[in-house]
């Protein structure tokens, strides 16, 4: 049962992938660069190697969502899957192979899973895995994938187009560039695939914004132009988590959603250095108010400022779920953005690495619309992937005087009373 000859000539970067010997092979390329094809072929070759060596077991193929699986990952794998190896089982979402696990009548399988719910792979053991479009996955997905490979210490190929410079860039891709013994990163552009037409490449270069073109066609992790928070630096503003002292003030910001995510950010202030730490996030779609209330109560936040357009939801949280600390925020966008920018410039806003993944991703993506000569200028950020960003602004939109501050009364009266603010004309958070 050998892999059938497919008559496909690999380009130089695909050859480099097949020759790689590191455990985790990170492939980042422009669109239509052949990364999905090489992901499928690499896994098939790996299965054949294992079988010839007498290693029999299960394998895993995964993508960020069902849509990614059905549109690219699964059809590509089916295209090259040898018909005499086994068959696809639609209801079980796996390929059943024509050989069994050692000492069992159960066939070996290649499981195919969507990682929109990373726990869907819990309990599996795999000899090798392929994670397609991993840059779109949640950080917890990578933890689950590597966990499935832990017993066998099996390899994994990761194929993706560049997206936000979030967990994938920092925790996976960069390791492949810095000599980590377990990782190798191989990158190439769309035009490195001989099948990709030069005229299409040139058209995209002319018509697309530079940053978008470099991501989608050059396979580069390029920051978007027109970022709302250009001051944000992942290496400066993200830190390793630590235990928040009991006497620090903790408060939050909240953006309601349903089809869009509900976002809650938990923030603590160092009362000596006046540095704010975003230490936890809640970020989920289709969430019941009871779930939100349970999260809020567990955090023991002094107050939570929420979207004023959701006054009814705020009232329900207060009156029916006992969340009396949820209050209406001030929604002034420009003031809120400037306040966050000032805190970033002064290095007084930090984010816990691994605990605020979606918030950090949004910080790197949140941008203003590109200039368009045919449309009026719009000074408001693009309203996409902005749920944590709205929650962040709301959290810093105002100070609720006298409700929470665990500071000496004299200091409190000086720094946070309304009269003091009027006299000094300072922002209660930034000090300007």
For residues 17-25, average pLDDT = 93
The pLDDT of residue 29 is above 90: yes
| Residue 354 pLDDT | 86
Per-residue confidence band for 1, with pLDDT thresholds at 50, 70 and 90: very low
Per-residue confidence band for 8, with pLDDT thresholds at 50, 70 and 90: confident
The pLDDT of residue 426 is above 80: no
| Residue 168 pLDDT | 86
> Between residues 383 and 393, which one has the greater pLDDT?
393
Domain limits, the chain: 12-218, 234-424
pLDDT tens string 349-371? 999 988 998 898 888 888 887 65
CATH topology of domain 234-424: Nucleotidyltransferase; domain 5 (3.30.420)
Question: Which range among 8-22, 91-105, 155-169, 341-355 shows the weakest confidence by mean pLDDT?
Answer: 155-169
The pLDDT of residue 430 is above 80: no
pLDDT tens string 194-244? 999 999 999 988 887 777 888 889 988 877 667 888 888 888 899 999 999
When the pLDDT of each residue in the chain is averaged and rounded to a whole number, the result is 85
| Residue 243 pLDDT | 95
For residues 143-170, average pLDDT = 88
Strands 59-63 and 107-114, by their bridges, are parallel
Superfamily of domain 12-218: P-loop containing nucleotide triphosphate hydrolases (3.40.50.300)
Backbone angles phi, psi at 161, to 5 degrees: -90, 150
The pLDDT of residue 405 is above 60: no
Question: Which range among 168-177, 179-188, 266-275 shows the weakest confidence by mean pLDDT?
Answer: 168-177
| Residue 5 pLDDT | 53
């Amino acid at each position: 049962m050998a892999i059938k000859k497919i008559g496909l000539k690999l380009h130089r970067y695909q050859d480099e992938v097949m020759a790689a010997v590191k455990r985790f092979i990170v492939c980042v390329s422009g669109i239509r660069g052949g990364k999905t094809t090489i992901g499928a072929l690499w896994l098939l070759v790996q299965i054949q190697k294992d079988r010839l060596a007498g290693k029999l077991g299960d394998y895993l193929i995964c993508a960020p969502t069902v849509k990614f699986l059905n549109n690219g990952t699964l059809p590509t794998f089916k295209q090259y899957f040898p018909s005499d190896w086994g068959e696809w089982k639609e209801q079980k979402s796996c390929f059943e192979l024509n050989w069994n696990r050692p000492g069992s009548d159960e066939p070996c399988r290649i499981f195919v899973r969507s990682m929109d719910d990373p726990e869907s792979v819990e309990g599996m053991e795999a000899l090798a895995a392929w994670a397609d479009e991993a840059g779109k996955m949640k950080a917890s997905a990578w933890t689950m994938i590597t966990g499935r490979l832990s017993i066998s210490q099996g390899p994994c190929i990761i194929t993706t187009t560049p997206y936000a410079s979030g967990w994938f860039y920092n925790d996976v891709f960069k390791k492949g560039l810095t000599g980590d013994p377990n990782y190798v990163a191989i990158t190439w552009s769309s035009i490195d695939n001989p099948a990709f037409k030069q005229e299409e490449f040139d058209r995209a270069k002319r018509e697309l914004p530079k940053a978008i073109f470099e991501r989608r066609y050059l396979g580069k992790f390029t920051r978007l132009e027109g970022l709302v928070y250009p001051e944000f630096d992942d290496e400066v503003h993200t830190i390793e988590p630590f235990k928040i002292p009991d006497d620090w003030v903790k408060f939050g910001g909240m953006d309601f959603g349903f089809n869009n995510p509900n976002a809650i950010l938990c923030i603590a202030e160092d009362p000596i250095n006046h540095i704010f730490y975003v230490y936890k996030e809640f970020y989920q779609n289709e969430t019941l108010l009871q779930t939100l209330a349970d999260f809020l109560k567990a955090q023991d936040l002094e107050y939570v400022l929420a979207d004023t357009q959701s006054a009814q939801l705020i009232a329900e949280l207060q009156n029916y779920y006992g969340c009396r600390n949820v209050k209406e925020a001030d929604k002034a966008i420009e003031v809120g953005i400037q306040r966050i920018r000032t805190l970033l410039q002064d290095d007084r806003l930090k984010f816990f690495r691994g605990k605020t993944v979606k918030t950090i991703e949004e910080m790197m993506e949140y941008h203003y619309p590109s200039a368009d000569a045919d449309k009026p200028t719009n000074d408001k950020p693009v309203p996409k992937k902005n749920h944590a960003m709205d929650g962040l602004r709301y959290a810093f939109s105002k100070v609720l005087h006298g409700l929470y501050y665990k500071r000496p009364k004299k200091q409190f009266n000086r720094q946070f009373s309304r009269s003091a603010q009027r006299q000094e004309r300072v922002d209660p958070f930034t000090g300007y």
